[in-house]
A and B are shown apart, each in its own frame.
Chain A
Amino acid sequence: MLKKIILFTFVVTLPLAAQSSGENGLKVFGYFQNIFQQESLNRSTGVINTFALQQLNLFMQKDLAKNWTSLINVEILNNYSSSRHWGAINLQEAWIRYRHSAAFSIKFGLHTPVFNHLNEIKNKTPLLSYIIRPLAYETSFKEFITVDEFAPDRAYLQVSGYIPWRTVKLDYAIFGGNGPNVNSNPEVGQTGVDTTGAMMIGGRFGVRHAGLKAGLSFTWDRYSQLASIDDLAVPADRDYGEIPRIRFGIDAQYQWNQFGIENEYIHVNYHDENDEINFDRDFFYSTINYEHREWLNSYFSFWLIQQHASPVKSEMGVFSLGISCPIGDRITIKLQTGKVKTQAWVADKLTLEARGNYYDAAISVFF
């Protein structure tokens, strides 16, 4: 009985202590985005109408000492329900950072690294006007687009900052983490652990001046996910067990009064030294937005994903239009529509062409 009372007291008082710890205490905040979607992307399924909790993120942040901060970010996707086998829960960030100055800060622990413009904020829905994000960043599409292949989703160590030079700021970020060679099969051994000695390294170098922000990004790692085709490899002695992979990105943004334009390009190169089989990918998006009023922002966006694989080649292009209407500081209503075109070729012969539309409405809440 005593144990139960102590446990009850602990459980009840812990959140109260956290709440009452004041300015320098634990800060708990987060956001979620609920959507209604109508899509006609697949002829076999016809028109689909659905409500969904697209994303919910919970943050805990605490300043631990002078210049030391820690943050935890838990992400819940696609109507998560373990009993129904829906969606996913990800521990997205858990890091501690030492900030010496604007020129130097170092982050230890799981985080989303700086790569191009959108990678770091792709999951921060209150910052984005999009409901469906540019394809390479749409984490809720993980089931049918290999999102992780375009931009690094996780790193464990990052040094970053900026150096002012006249009126320009020179940004830099260098990060390290695991390659995609991470064991997810419990029968093989410890899961979530890199199975190779090759790790991922990457970075971004950029400039900021007035309304302009631009940069170059890269990552290097070794990729073993193609090991499954090892037996089918042509020529037969070709080893696809672990091949070097380089991601290269360019980003440019310009903001002029109410107008804004942002562009990104990513090229993923699998250095397999085989001309006959190719897995390289490209992604491009460009968005023009205009802030009509503080409560009305509109945008037009074009996205293109290409897989230059041979003998199978595929491409998906999307034209998208949308508006976002903030209501106060914490609620945003969003509307978006898009036209999608998918094509696939085998040995340069068009074998698939599909077109479809989607219409989305969402409410994004920050708390």
Chain B
Amino acid sequence: MMPRFPCFFNDDSEKISTFSMKKVIYVFLFLAYFTPPLLSQVAVIAHRDVPVDQIKKSELLDFFIGDIKKWKDGTAVVIFDMKEKKDVKITFYKYLGKTSSRMKSIWMKNMLAGEGAPPKAVKTPRQMLLEVASTPGAIGFIDAKYVDKSVKVLKTIPIKK
């Protein structure tokens, strides 16, 4: 026998109780459909020796489009990209107000203007961690659940689906 769901409005009326439960389920389904759930976070990570502990969105954009090429202490900024276009990558570039194809176009433009090669794109979060941890001045992004103590987290961005 199915357990009866407790009624919050009228203990004596099963009809009303069932009707209210339906309403709750509908409201829940409605909210579940239209509210973007927070699944995870993108962590903006950097080499442990970079001279900042947090970063503004505008600075992050300047690094990734190549407008700023050095950290405050003069170390060259080395950026890393993710190869696969998944939620983490989409969220990160959307946060910067770009699409990943527009970023590619900016990097190609920079290359053809003699500003240097596009960033190295890594395949896995593990690779991103290793590259950022071992490259002075490095900055990249990763699903926050993979972050460990080998890198510094400068910012977190919620992933919305």
Query: What residues of chain A have their CB less than 8 Å away from a CB belonging to chain B?
Result: 27, 29, 59, 61, 63, 69-71, 95, 97, 99, 102, 120-121, 124, 126-127, 162, 167, 169, 210-211, 255, 257-258, 291, 294, 297, 326, 329, 366
Which B residues are in CB contact (< 8 Å) with A124?
109, 112
CB nearest to A126 among chain B residues: B108
Q: Which of A59, A126, A127, A294 contacts B99 (CB 8 A)?
A: A294
Count chain B residues whose beta carbon lies closer than 8 angstroms to a beta carbon of A: 21
Task: Kindly state whether residue B102 has any CB partner on chain A within 8 Å.
Answer: yes
Q: Is B85 an interface residue (CB 8 A)?
A: yes
Q: Which B-chain residue is minimally distant from A366 (CB atoms)?
A: B108
**Which residue of A is nearest B109, CB measured?**
A127
A155 to B158, CA, bound (A): 47
CB atoms of B100 and A294 under 8 A apart: yes
Whether B67 lies near A169 (C-beta < 8 A) is: yes
Residue ID in chain B nearest A70 by CB atoms: B114
Pick from B67, B101, B104, B114: contact of A61, CB under 8 Å: B114
Complex: A257 Cα to B96 Cα, angstroms: 11
B68 CB contacts on chain A under 8 angstroms: 102
A255, closest chain B residue (CB): B102
Complex contact A121–B109 (CB within 8 A): yes
CB-based contact A258/B104 at 8 Å: no
| Complex contacts, A102 vs chain B, CB 8 Å | 67-69
B124 within 8 A of A: no
Contacts of B111 in A (CB 8 A): 29
- A selection of 29 A-B contacts at a CB cut-off of 8 Å is A27-B117, A59-B112, A63-B116, A71-B114, A95-B114, A97-B114, A99-B69, A102-B68, A102-B69, A120-B113, A121-B109, A121-B112, A124-B112, A126-B108, A127-B105, A127-B109, A127-B112, A167-B58, A169-B67, A210-B97, A255-B102, A257-B99, A258-B99, A291-B102, A294-B85, A294-B101, A297-B101, A329-B104, A366-B108
Closest residue of chain A to B58 (Cβ to Cβ) is A167
Is the Cβ of B108 less than 8 Å from the Cβ of A211? no
Residue among B69, B100, B104, B112 with most chain A CB within 10 A: B112
Chain B residues near A97 (CB-CB < 8 A) = 114
